[in-house]
Chain A
Amino acid sequence: MPNGLLEGVTVLDLSQGIAGPFCARLLGDYGAEVLKVEPPTGDYLRRVGPFFHDDPHPEKSLFFLVLNLNKRGITLNLETELGRRLFLQLVERADVVVESFPPGYLARLGLDYPRLARHNPRLVMTSLTPFGQTGPYSPFAGEEIVSYAMSGIMAISGTTDREPLKHGGNQAQYDAGLLSAAATAIALFSAGATGQGEHLDVSITEVVASTLVGNQPYYAFMGGIQGRRQPKGTLLANPMPCKDGWVIVQPGGGATWEDIADFLGRPDLKDPKFSTNEGRRVHGEELDAILLDAIKERGRWELFREAANRRILFGIVQDAKDLAECPQLASRGFYREVEHPVIGRVKVPAVLCNFSLTPYTLRSPAPLLGQHNAQVYCQELGYSREDLVRMRQLGVI
């Protein structure tokens, strides 16, 4: 029985924030040994909420916790000579480095990929930045909303009577983290055959842009530029209010338009003018009125189950409470409980997908700041306790 999907892989996670740490966490979730390397001040996400019981204690960021599961943690100041030397010793034993510094930062420290590869030719280095390592915007400052705007996705989100709309939360960061885990796994597979590692350059903005598979070629094939939705006449395939929440119904899949009319109990939907996508668009406002009337007295769960029985594509708007209590997620083992030395026992979203031979394992909570310094520097790299104290005093760890 293999010891995890990524058995035998050692990862140094130098990244901070969301995208890079999520990438490294996924590698750890599926069996890699991940060592998080933080500056002595800690990953800035330690200062970002939500916090456990709204207590902004440095070890109680739940955001940090959830993105750094299955990692050990050390502190290391790369801006010191000794810090860089220790780092190179760690690189010699590693398969992967994940980093999210501004382009050029590691090169200024003498730690860019070509130099690391001299110490370890099999090394895969995954760099996540807002705009990538090359190109005129490479040095630009990024933020979630900036990646969203420049990816092209904001131009088609929201309605035409309002400004473009960002998706909620930090979708671009997670998206880039997940893609980077995939790119890293591909490079590891390749290195397994050739013995040669490589440098992966991930642009967070381009990861989101890569999802625009409808939008981009519309232009390349006929010069079409998509925009935001019309504010009226587009309720079909959009959230619409029912008695106790919001639902969404979409034609297609295994059901016909007639099936949708029957399900909603509205024979007037069978009027030929609604029978095609085109007709439903042209008569959108009329359609909106019928749909709203049909569902206003109905409950979302009843509609959800009944639509599924009829093979109709149907969704209900679920919020964090619904998702925390979702029986489907429970059946998939999505949530796991973790015991954190400061926070205590807490449920965390854990499992991305299921592998039949090498299942997900939750082996540890996020590390406390510098929790494994002694283990790594003394037991693994052979420094003495006295050295450890000196390193601390000199600001190296």
Chain B
Amino acid sequence: MQRLPFQGVRVLDSTYVFALPYAGGLLADLGAEVIKIEGPGRIDVTRGGAWSGAFPENTPGEDWWNRSSTYNLLNRGKKSLTLDLSNPKARALFADLVKVSDVVMENYTPRVMKGWGLDYPNLRKLRPDIIMVSNTGYGHGNGPYSNYPAQATTQEATHGHCAVTGYIGGPPSKAGQSFVDFLASWTALFGIAAALRLRQRTGQGQWIDIGMYQCGVMFLSEFLMDYIANGRVAPRIGNRHPFRAPQGVYPARGEDQWVVLSVGSDEQWRALCDLMGKPHLAHDPRFADSLSRLKNHDALDEIIRAWTSQHDRYELMYRLQEVGIPAGPVFNARDMHIDPHYRAREFLEYVEYPPERGMGRRPLIGRPWKASATPARIQGPAPRLGEHNEAILVGLLGLTPEDLQELEKAGIISQVPRESRLEPRVSPEEMVRRGILAEWDPQYRQRLGI
């Protein structure tokens, strides 16, 4: 077994929802010991709230808080400790953990950690070379929005994503699901790895202050430059491209089946005309050159649509790619699980849950990159709430079993959440009727071999 990059690195992960919990999950894939800390009265909303996703066979079960799909994907391979940080005793334990850890991650609004005396200047006193990561909506500091509450849904509007996303002539549109969270995830991974490297060289730690907003704005750099230098605010162009034409998403044979293609040269355009069985179109003055194609895009779309709708989306992909035209089907969640390319690259990794958890074996998103010398892997299931309370508090900090009982009695630690945050469930058929799901596939287990 080769050495994983973060072997021997201990991470305190006092984070919620998507962004930093996912970064923590990936650190665990890469060998770090990641301790997820939640309050018994403030469990992660991905365990049962609006972002919890699905439960195995749509059945929350008695310990629903350990069984949601989103929680289990993001928090794989971690240890779970409950600590009610609003209690000073819990904060003392947290401080003791900081002394034996390398990285602390948190995503409270700026005033919270400061109020608890757990901000960077204080953590540094406990462990001078600690690396601390804070992720907030708008970033720490004295800016007007620094203490504004935020989540991806509202941030995609503020960071500029919605303004450039939407059908031509239509309203600004939200991303399909949270997007900006993951920019903060990757930023945190970058920061932690680079800061650990610097610590390896100099022995110094530091504080990494991430504002999701800022990460999101960075991804619109070309739009910002066009305004700064040219005073232009670009319109929404739907699925089109500023200079490649035709480009778009077109219906393929079957219900809700789509293919995208993008033509960037006269050569590709001629090849497309040939594929469509309309070689004469290559000389049609409306479409013969690139500027004309941009101008007459609507007419072009109609012609392409008439052709694509007669063919299977995979067939279209292969035929278009064969002549060098960038193209591919619009994949949904099922496609991602069964497509031969995703399978060949083992993008999804199977996680086996212990029998007593009644969750079986499930494929989960691995990592978006492959490394030749350090073969990371999902190290194990996400933990049950408080599963490692004893291992950490007794095993690592040296508390006695009696101390543990005291803490439990005082409600500082627990394996059961203090209050239920479970969203009510309806049947899969009803989810489809209400538009929560586009489709339900009762055969999914056979397809996945689970």
Contact = CB atoms under 8 A, between A and B. Distances in A.
Interface string B236-268: 111101101001111100001011101010000
A353 B438 contact: no
A135 interface: yes
B241 to A, nearest CB: 7
Interface residues of A, number: 159
A98 to B, nearest CB: 13
B329 A149 contact: yes
A237 B217 contact: no
A272 interface: no
Contacts of A376: none
Interface stretch (B200-208, B274-282, B392-400, B401-409): B200-208
B283 to A, nearest CB: 25
Nearest to A231: B435
Interface stretch (A60-68, A82-90, A367-375, A383-391): A60-68
Interface string A153-173: 111111010111111111100
A370 to B, nearest CB: 23
A54 interface: yes
B56 A248 contact: no
Given A185-B197, A214-B70, A155 B331 contact: yes
A53 B373 contact: no
Interface string B37-60: 000000001000111011111100
Contacts of B287: none
Interface of A, helix, strand, loop or mixed by DSSP: mixed
Interface stretch (B91-99, B153-161, B290-298): B153-161
Contacts of B53: 213-214, 217-218, 221
Contacts of A151: 331
Interface residues of B, number: 176
B194 A6 contact: yes
Contact of B177 (A150, A215, A351): A215
Contact of A168 (B164, B176, B228, B341): B164
Contacts of B83: none
A247 B335 contact: no
B208 A224 contact: no
Interface string B164-202: 111100011111111101110011011101111110111
A30 to B, nearest CB: 6
B306 interface: no
B75 to A, nearest CB: 11
Contacts of A247: 157
Given A175-B186, A224-B440, A349-B218, A323 B160 contact: yes
B206 A358 contact: yes
Given A223-B428, A320-B226, A131 B434 contact: no
A249 B155 CA distance: 10
A248 B344 CA distance: 41
B150 A313 contact: yes
Contact of A332 (B139, B162, B201, B264): B139
Given A202-B368, A252-B151, A319-B233, 11 more contacts: A131-B341, A141-B321, A143-B326, A189-B5, A190-B5, A209-B368, A217-B69, A219-B441, A220-B364, A320-B224, A329-B213
16 contacts: A134-B344, A141-B327, A152-B331, A155-B176, A211-B181, A218-B53, A222-B58, A225-B332, A239-B174, A255-B149, A313-B154, A317-B172, A320-B160, A320-B232, A331-B141, A354-B210
Q: Which 10 A-B pairs have the closest CB atoms?
A: A227-B438, A168-B164, A331-B143, A315-B154, A223-B444, A217-B69, A198-B373, A156-B176, A315-B157, A157-B176
